[in-house]
Copies of this chain bind each other. A is one copy, B any other.
Amino acid sequence: MTGRMNRQILLKTRPEGAPSPDNFELTETPIPEPSEGEVLLRILYLSLDPYMRGRMNAAKSYAKPAEIGQPMVGGTVGEIVNSRHPNFSVGDVVLGYGGWQEYAISNGKGLRKLDATIAPVSTALGVLGMPGMTAYVGLLEVGQPKPDETVVVAAASGAVGSVVGQIAKLKGCHAVGIAGGSDKCRFVIGELGFDACVDHRSPDFAKELEAACPKGIDVYFENVGGAVQQTVWPLLNDFARIPVCGLIAQYNATSPMPGPDMFSVLRKRLLLRGFIVSDFAPKQPDFLRDVSEWVRTGRLKYREDIVDGLEKAPASFIGMLQGKNFGKMLVRIAV
């Protein structure tokens, strides 16, 4: 492969507020050669996920920040094109953490082989991957919905929200989505089977949400924060549970946003619990078993928003933080 180049997108600078294309730099470097015990991956799909905004900051979060001058971090599906690792062969397609680039070296740690006969391999980055499992454990383990309860989730057409609402329905709940725009809301109801979906851009958003939740809200799956959170809060029932999974509406904030009203927490005996999918790693077999089966039998649907070409990643990522994507955001790098 000598002579061929690996295109990469590096983190050039850290954003203040919303990221811009200037924070990224497209570069080329020779495709590396695997050492003994390593494999070379040709990346097929790069996942774009909201958590990456946090990695662009210098502050340590639950994971260490992405490094300036290095390829942006990210989950990938790749094909092994050169192997010096005993467990992997050329042609294997694996889930990994290759980052924003066309080729990546791996020592095999954390790679998981995928079987394209079960589902398209891109789903390992979405409904059958980290976003799907986030929805599964956040709703079932943290939210603990009971039949006939009302479950509300924002970004309802997205990778996580779409799975939250569909699992809520499978568990006998009243599922209400929140999404940006009537196209997404139609999809959430018509395709995903939610009971209702409310457009947060509507001038009557608060009233419409209240009307969609005639018995109040028992589980609010928090993945956006900000103004949506403020609107949801008064509708929460006593003993409501709030799995806190993300705060996409606040990621670009440069000053702190007001937290939830503590009097409600006390008076309504609310439970808020932050979680990260890796906290529930032992649940992965349950997740893969259940969700694979639901996808296979058509009871759980998913939608991908795919752009072609690594160079599209920065703009697609920036757009996703603004809600411009429609479904799980992926960059197809090779096929």
Contact = CB atoms under 8 A, between A and B. Distances in A.
Interface of A: 61-62, 222, 225, 229, 238, 244-247, 250, 256-276, 279
Given A275-B269, A279-B269, A262 B61 contact: no
A245 B250 CA distance: 28
Contacts of A265: 244, 259, 272-274
Copies in the complex: 2
A279 B238 CA distance: 11
16 contacts: A62-B238, A222-B262, A244-B262, A244-B265, A247-B266, A258-B259, A259-B260, A259-B262, A260-B262, A265-B274, A266-B276, A267-B274, A269-B273, A269-B279, A270-B274, A272-B273
A137 B72 CA distance: 46
A181 to B, nearest CB: 25
A250 B271 contact: no
Nearest to A279: B269
A261 B271 contact: no
Nearest to A241: B273
A276 B269 contact: yes
A272 B269 contact: no
Nearest to A271: B273
**Minimum-distance CB pairs A-B, first 5:** A259-B259, A266-B274, A265-B274, A269-B274, A272-B272
A263 B257 CA distance: 10
Nearest to A54: B267
A263 B247 contact: yes
Given A269-B274, A269-B276, 13 more contacts: A62-B238, A62-B267, A246-B266, A250-B262, A250-B263, A256-B261, A259-B259, A259-B265, A266-B276, A268-B274, A270-B274, A271-B271, A272-B272
